[in-house]
Amino acid sequence: MKNLGICALMPHPPIMIPEIGKGELDKIKNTVTAVEEAARRIKEFNPQTIVLMTPHGPAFEDAVSISVHPRLKGNFSSFGVPDVSLGFETDSLLVRHILKKADRLGVNIVELTDDMAKNYRLKLELDHGALVPLYYLYKAGFKGQLVHISVGMLSYEEMYTFGKAVQGAIGMVDKRVVVIASGDLSHRLTPDAPAGYSPQAAEFDRQVMEAVENVNIKSLLEIDRDLVEVAGECGLRPIFFLMGVVGGLKATGENLSYEGPFGVGYGVSLINVTK
């Protein structure tokens, strides 16, 4: 699949943004270096569109959601730096193909229109789950279009199926596309972790990172659900989506880094698609 050459798992701690993290940035230098490397390699592929799934956009119990506004923008005002902002044009053609493919595969998908935002009191701005990876991709030189997707509370199998729908949609457009799963792993790695501590959290992260590197959906599905529960993660559904995007294709994974100095697991991985 020539127009889908590379995909990535990227974390989204706002502290990764220099204007926010400042002196704390050194504590996650491995993650920052890996994300910069991932962004550099993605730019080498010269994508025209980035499809990004975030766990921190508008979320529905029974559907994933997709932004259809012609131009998407956001900033880090919630983290004290409103001057750091990004904006991208939506790839409306690819959005239409995704909607059609998802419907054919029976995956519920909500279009985030202005009316929908008003009715549900939703914000249509890019959330930090999208902005953090996009900050580094923009820094590396990406100036193309965006498809912004927010995770839904669907089953892992449905998230995989939605990934297959996106794969099919990408095959319908004549452009180079990169897919990003934005997600942090366990939030319970240390006693001072934001969600409390679990001694099993590190094992969850180990299993997920190994499955991503091996592009092994079976291993992901076999992770004990109790282990998932105690991990307190926000990245598993985006990862299942990513596995669907590359499902059935010849793909190889590479873990660039993993660390959790603040009690949250940050994993950076690339998946290269060769066929």
Of the candidates 275, 272, 266, the residue with the CA atom closest to the CA atom of residue 129: 266
Provide the pLDDT for residue 86.
98
Provide the pLDDT for residue 132.
98
pLDDT tens, position by position, 174-217: 999 999 999 999 999 999 998 999 999 999 999 999 999 999 99
Range of the domain at 218: 4-273
Radius of gyration of the chain (CA): 17
The CA-atom distances, in angstroms, between 202 and each of 187, 188, 233, 252, 264 are: 10, 8, 11, 24, 10
Conformational region of residue 121, where left means phi above 0, alpha means psi within -120 to 50, and beta covers everything else: left
pLDDT along the chain (275 residues), means of 10: 93 97 95 98 97 95 95 96 97 98 97 87 92 98 98 96 98 97 97 94 98 97 96 96 97 98 97 90
Q: Rounded to 5 degrees, what angle do the CA atoms 268, 98, 115 make?
A: 100
Provide the pLDDT for residue 124.
86
Provide the pLDDT for residue 216.
97
> Which CATH number does the domain housing residue 11 bear?
3.40.830.10
Query: Cα-flanking dihedrals φ and ψ of residue 63, to 5°?
Result: -160, 150
Provide the pLDDT for residue 158.
97
Query: How many domains in the chain?
Result: 1
pTM exceeds cut of 0.95: yes
Provide the pLDDT for residue 272.
97
pLDDT tens, position by position, 67-91: 999 999 999 999 999 999 999 999 9
The CA-atom distances, in angstroms, between 214 and each of 129, 137, 181, 240, 270 are: 24, 24, 16, 13, 11
Task: For residue 92, count other CB atoms closer than 10 A to its CB.
Answer: 12
Give the whole-angstrom CA distance, residue 250 versus residue 273.
Answer: 6
Give the whole-angstrom CA distance, residue 167 versus residue 164.
Answer: 5
